[in-house]
């Protein structure tokens, strides 16, 4: 009788562990980033930076991040400031 109860504990523990792993592993899936150019070196220089109007900071501690040229679809595309 004790052996059967001990075996049930192990089976229940194994099922609980399997359930935990099956719920945790989908969170480990890594989706490749689609927002960058991974095709090698871009041999075309970007145009000069665009002129942007820097507004007043909403509160102290905020930092201005200017826009930049990004290589998208075989050409440079302006990404505006944040």
Those residues with Cβ within 8 angstroms of residue 72's Cβ, 6 or more apart along the chain or in another chain: 37
Sign of CA pseudo-dihedral 71, 75, 80, 81: positive
- Per-residue pLDDT at 72 exceeds 90: no
Tens of pLDDT, residue by residue over 15-71, are 988 888 888 777 777 776 666 666 677 888 999 989 888 888 888 988 888 899 988
CA distances from 38 to 31, 32, 46 (A): 15, 11, 17
């Amino acid at each position: 009788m004790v052996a059967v109860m001990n075996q049930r504990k192990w089976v229940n523990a194994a099922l609980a562990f399997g359930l935990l792993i099956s719920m945790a592993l989908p969170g480990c899936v890594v989706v490749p980033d689609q927002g960058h150019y991974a095709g090698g070196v871009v041999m075309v220089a970007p145009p000069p930076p665009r002129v942007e109007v820097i507004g007043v900071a909403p509160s102290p501690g905020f930092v201005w991040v200017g826009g930049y040229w990004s290589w998208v679809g075989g050409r440079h595309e302006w990404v505006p400031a944040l």
